[in-house]
Amino acid sequence: MKNLIHSLSLLCFVSLLLACSQKESSKTAIETQTRTFSKSYKAPSFENDLRVEKIKEIAPEIHQLIIDHAEKKNIPGIAYGIVVDNELVVASSTGVIDIDSKAPAKTKSAFRIASMTKSFTAMAIVKLRDEGKLRLNDPAGKYIRQMGKLEYLTSDSPEITIMNLLSMTAGFPEDNPWGDRQLDEPDQMLIDLIDAGISFSNPPSYNFEYSNTGYALLGHIISKVSGIPYQKYIKQHILKPLGMENTYWEYDSVPANLLVKGYRWEDDQWKPEPMLHDGSYGSMGGLITTIEDFSKYVSFQLSAWPPRSTEDAGPVKRSSLREMQTPQFSSLYAKARDFKGDTCAVISGYGYGLGIAKYCNGLKQVSHGGALPGFGSNYVFFPQYGVGIMAFCNLTYTSPWPFSKIGELLFETQKLESRKLPASDILLKRQEQIVHLIQNWDAETENAILAENFYLDQSRESQMEHAKEVFEKVGTIDSIGAMNAYNQLRGTFKIIGDLGVVEVFFTLSPEKDPRVQLIDLELMTD
């Protein structure tokens, strides 16, 4: 019996070793698997890049707008800047950071940026996710056990996840006035708040509602998962890698000559607002920084675009930044206006610590504001243009700039141009073949380029007849226009004749050798 037990034990031990070896081998195989990618992909680029020159040209006008805005809104001091890619091309200031000493505002002055902190918190969560230390669909209660006791509004409410906290869909009520005053509370206050129970305004995953408390909870989760305080994690893993050496959590840490003092305008005079220390709500709005330092963060966010195959060496991956900049719960504003003042519908939503808006004219902007007693701040960046703008001021809950007027200067007066996607090699090849096909309809070209559905959706005879009618109106072909690529496998081009112009749209199949699945010919009219 003893020998049998010994043999069984040895067998179990060997089996365990083999199992571990197999698991390790499988894990290694997954980890070492190399993904392939196209060597011919051409990223979007600027065809005639005059962004820096155009922005510097209007710098005096922007500065005057800032001065006028400060005077109109009774703002003691404003600092602002404009980034193009990784360069701070315009940076200036007006007014003072201390009314008593009359110390002037500078681009090195350290302002509290309030809720602009939230995207740093979101970035830390995404970084931990990328490292396999948490999942966005994890229940928040996995990391904060007191959340398991929450009383939901309905029996069919889903459990709050990290994603709910990130996208502000946890069902918590908007808490700006109250939340702002919790900044310096200790961690135990936050836990006690959850333990006592939170009032819900909506069931989770039902609607977006801005929540400072949700981001305070994310800060606590970051501390739990990383094993170090939230503020230390942000400093070590985000601020330091980006070279943000003049960004702080505690106002006591800021050099006295750089610290901006906050005010409110009341009874026709400025009244000092007391500075709040950092605490458990720091992850929703505690950062203090300068225009020069924050420009590095804006540049990093811009670096996510366009998708490309160059080295990816930031604190988080470019694809994760783009994920942060993607709305999770969108709404349509049909009566929004563009920078010209014309009605232009916008789809707007919240990503991870960032607000995203896409206008009817295709313009996409990513942004976040910040407001705390004594301060107002904002930043907006335009991914397609590689341009970001930011401004900080020291007046309670006040916008630091006339944003629409600045946007009008950038996009209407100077008409900044966005990146353009070059036509892929396969689009250019198929374009040439399609031009030949729709004039000749020869079997050799058909067999070479048409997908199997092409004549099933519309007969060969019908398509030939339509093409004949179109080209009779176009006349003799003079030239073929450039390929306008929508993506790698879809686009349009023009065929110009002596009597008219036809626009050709085509789209290719998902096969390894993409074939033409649709051609649409549209006669252009004046």
* Each residue's pLDDT expressed in tens, for the chain with a length of 526 residues: 334 334 434 434 334 333 444 444 444 434 447 889 998 999 999 999 999 999 999 999 999 999 999 999 999 999 999 999 999 999 999 999 999 999 999 999 999 999 999 999 999 999 999 999 999 999 999 999 999 999 999 999 999 999 999 999 999 999 988 878 888 888 899 999 999 999 999 999 999 999 999 999 999 999 999 999 999 999 999 999 999 999 999 999 999 999 999 999 999 999 999 998 999 999 999 999 999 999 999 999 999 999 999 999 899 999 999 999 999 989 999 999 999 999 999 999 999 999 999 999 999 999 999 999 999 999 999 999 999 999 999 999 999 999 999 999 999 999 999 999 999 999 999 999 999 999 999 999 999 999 999 999 899 999 999 999 999 999 999 999 999 999 999 999 999 999 999 999 999 999 999 999 999 999 997 6
Burial class of residue 121 in the structure, from the number of CB atoms within 10 Å of its CB (0-12 exposed, 13-18 middle, 19+ buried): buried
Give tens-digit pLDDT for 129-172. Answer: 999 999 999 999 999 999 999 999 999 999 999 999 999 999 99
- On whether the CB atoms of residues 260 and 105 are closer than 8 A, the answer is yes
What predicted TM-score, i.e. pTM, was given to this entire model? 0.91
- On whether the CB atoms of residues 290 and 250 are closer than 8 A, the answer is no
Give tens-digit pLDDT for 380-418. Answer: 999 999 999 999 999 999 999 999 999 999 999 999 999
- Mark 84-94 as b/e (b = at least 16 C-beta within 10 Å): bbeebbbbbbb
- On whether the CB atoms of residues 467 and 485 are closer than 8 A, the answer is no
Give tens-digit pLDDT for 287-338. Answer: 999 999 999 999 999 999 999 999 998 999 999 999 999 999 899 999 999 9
Q: Which pLDDT belongs to residue 211?
A: 95
Distance CA 411, CA 306 (A): 20
Distance CA 161, CA 177 (A): 25
Amino acid at position 372, single letter: L
Going from the C-alpha of 421 to that of each of 297, 306, 320, 427, the distances in angstroms are 26, 10, 22, 12
Alpha-helical segments (H) within 74-204 = 118-130, 162-167, 176-180, 187-196
Residue 330 structure tokens: 């969108």
Beta bridge partners of 520: 505
- On whether the CB atoms of residues 278 and 210 are closer than 8 A, the answer is no
Q: Which pLDDT belongs to residue 525?
A: 78
Peptide bond between residue 383 and the one before it cis (omega within 30 degrees of 0): no
- On whether the CB atoms of residues 85 and 75 are closer than 8 A, the answer is no
Closest to 216 measured CA to CA, from 70, 118, 69? 118
Distance CA 121, CA 143 (A): 16
Q: Which pLDDT belongs to residue 185?
A: 86
